[in-house]
Amino acid sequence: MKSSSRFVLITGLSGAGKSQVLRLFEDRGYYCIDNLPAALVPIFAQLVADAESPHDKVAVCVDARTGEDLVNLPEYLGRVAALGFRPETLFLETSDDVLHQRYSESRRPHPASPTGSIDEGIRQERELLDPIREHADVVIDTSTTTTADLRERIESLALKDDKKAGMTIGVLSFGYKHGVPKVADLVLDVRFLPNPHYEPELRPRDGREQVVSDYVLENETAEKFFEHISAMLKFLIPHYEHEPKSYLTIAIGCTGGRHRSVAVAQRIATHLREMQYDVTLRHRDLDGDV
């Protein structure tokens, strides 16, 4: 077995889209198993390693139904690594409001509280999974993620191979009035930059348009900001890669998430691509109120 063989563990909150993500990995040529008990993870890995034609890309889904044995996942993944795999943990989460809505619409009981309330099930499951989330390589919040966004994110992760080693950097713009993204590793507040919202001709536009971008970025304050940010990222990113970290999310926020954060995110994404990093770009709140 090649030491670079990938073993992706998909876990997270019930209702956050784990089965959908597993299917996306399957579409990309991964050998996939759904709802695998935690204790069977290293056993399954051993079977794959011993196979006459072993798979070099594997993805398994483990959820809270495996119970208290989840606390042993780090040990199980250590045994997977000892077999020659490169284990990675992908954690999916969603806001309580979205989870409650999904379970209410489906009329299904929450697996963590089959005879109790949905809210109690969500609370218990979060408590059980928090230690796993803490050590996950990648965390994806599907609360506001479209199917297209999720597919792009998973493809970026699934298509990584030895020829394209290294960390993927996600650049995400957002509006503070809609909340700070939980998945952010670094958060940059750009509310100090000139605000197009107060210019009637610019208000209905967004930061992807040149006229808005120029208004936000063509000034001494913005230039100084990018000078410092560029130096900071040049210093930090190699350290994140050394950790190692497979996915880094840089979130850029302004008030509404339509003008300043979008313009800055576009420029940072371009700069990182010029530095030869694998970059995804998403604007979370672009379609919010003007």
Q: Which fold has domain 5-164?
A: Rossmann fold (3.40.50)
Distance of CA 207 to CAs 32, 90, 147, 163, 259, Å?
A: 40, 31, 23, 34, 4
Q: In angstroms, rounded to a whole number, what is the distance separating the alpha carbons of residues 219 and 237? A: 27
The domain locations on the chain are 5-164, 168-283
pLDDT of the chain along its 290 residues, tens only?
555 688 999 999 888 889 889 998 888 888 999 989 999 999 999 998 888 777 788 999 998 877 788 888 889 999 999 998 889 899 999 888 888 887 777 767 777 776 678 788 888 888 888 888 888 888 888 887 777 778 877 877 776 654 445 678 999 999 999 999 888 899 999 999 999 999 999 999 999 999 999 999 999 999 999 999 999 999 999 888 877 677 889 999 999 999 999 999 999 999 999 988 888 899 989 875 55
Task: Specify the pTM.
Answer: 0.64
Q: Tally Cβ neighbours within 10 Å of residue 174.
A: 27
